[in-house]
């Protein structure tokens, strides 16, 4: 696979981060004063009950959303001063996102879906994009599906395509919100193995999950309750990875 080309590393720092939503009464704090440090290369599972704030926290970690107070630094970069356009461009190069439901574009082939983030960010010359997409589809084991439309794939194949798309620009960080939530256990295992391998290759991987199989292979499990970190079990197997270029 291609080496990480980003100058940013995948460390993530939240300092006193709060995400409030306006409601009719007092603001509702979906994430409350969270301090969190995730070193580059760690494989982190975020667990907790429905409504506890997992997705909100993941969106802060990924720069998809911004805190209403407190700070988020990713790879040492403070996201606060970035304009929406700058943030979108930054995210395109630095964060790969996998959702519970693949969210592939139905009118594009699988290969075209994987090339879309490349077209958006211009990390690779256009002449190389198809070759890299094919490499990524081979990595996730569905190179033979490249020319098909997402509707013709199984759920597990779609999620593999979504992982290939998330890896398109070789970002140092990969986040996934319940990536195995819609899969049977066999397809889920493939997805877990792929994400684990990305962490072993040096990427920071943060996964919101109810799946005990993911939590079981994570370096660290963070449990959220009422928008706060209720439990943060220490990494067991994590070692610094040189491949991040940190």
Which helix H or strand E contains 203, and what residues bound it?
A: none
Measured distance CA(43)–CA(197) in Å, rounded: 10
Is 209 among the residues that bind ligand ATP (CB under 6 A)? no
Instruction: State whether the Cα torsion 133-138-141-144 is positive or negative.
Output: positive
Measured distance CA(239)–CA(169) in Å, rounded: 25
Tell me which residue has tokens 């997805």: 191
Binding-site partner at residue 48 among Mg ion, ligand ATP, none, CB < 5 to 8 Å by type: ligand ATP
Rounded to the nearest whole angstrom, what is the least distance from the CB of residue 62 to Mg ion in the complex?
13
Residue in 5, 4, 1 with CA at minimum distance from that of residue 131: 1
Residue in 172, 1, 200 with CA at minimum distance from that of residue 92: 172
Sole window of 48-56, 62-70, 143-151, 214-222 interacting with ligand ATP (rule: CB under 6 A): 48-56
Rounded to the nearest whole angstrom, what is the least distance from the CB of residue 156 to Mg ion in the complex?
21
Is 54 among the residues that bind ligand ATP (CB under 6 A)? yes
Based on CB atoms, which residue is closest to ligand ATP, 40 or 60?
60
Based on CB atoms, which residue is closest to ligand ATP, 50 or 236?
50
Binding-site partner at residue 9 among Mg ion, ligand ATP, none, CB < 5 to 8 Å by type: none
Summarize as ranges the residues that interact with ligand ATP (CB under 6 A): 21, 28, 30, 48, 50-56
């Amino acid at each position: 696979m291609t080496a990480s080309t980003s100058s940013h590393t995948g460390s993530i720092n939240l300092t006193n981060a709060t995400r409030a939503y306006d409601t009719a009464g007092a603001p509702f704090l979906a994430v409350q004063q969270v301090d969190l440090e995730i070193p580059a290369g760690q494989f982190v599972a975020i667990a907790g009950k429905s409504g506890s704030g997992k997705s909100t926290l993941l969106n802060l970690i990924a720069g998809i959303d911004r805190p209403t107070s407190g700070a988020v630094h990713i790879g040492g970069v403070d996201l606060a001063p970035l304009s929406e356009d700058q943030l979108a461009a930054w995210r395109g190069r630095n964060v790969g996102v996998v959702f519970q439901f693949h969210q592939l574009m139905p009118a594009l082939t699988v290969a075209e879906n994987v090339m879309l983030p490349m077209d958006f960010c211009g990390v690779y010359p256009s002449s190389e994009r198809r070759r890299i997409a094919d490499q990524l589809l081979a990595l996730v084991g569905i190179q033979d599906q490249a020319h098909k439309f997402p509707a013709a794939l199984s759920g597990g194949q779609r999620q593999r395509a979504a992982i290939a798309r998330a890896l398109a620009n070789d970002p140092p960080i990969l986040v996934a919100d319940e990536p195995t939530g819609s899969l049977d256990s066999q397809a889920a295992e493939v997805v877990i193995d792929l994400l684990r391998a990305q962490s072993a290759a040096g990427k920071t991987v943060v996964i919101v999950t109810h799946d005990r199989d993911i939590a079981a292979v994570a370096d660290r499990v963070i449990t959220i309750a009422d928008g706060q970190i209720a439990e943060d079990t220490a990494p067991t197997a994590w070692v610094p990875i040189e491949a991040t270029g940190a």
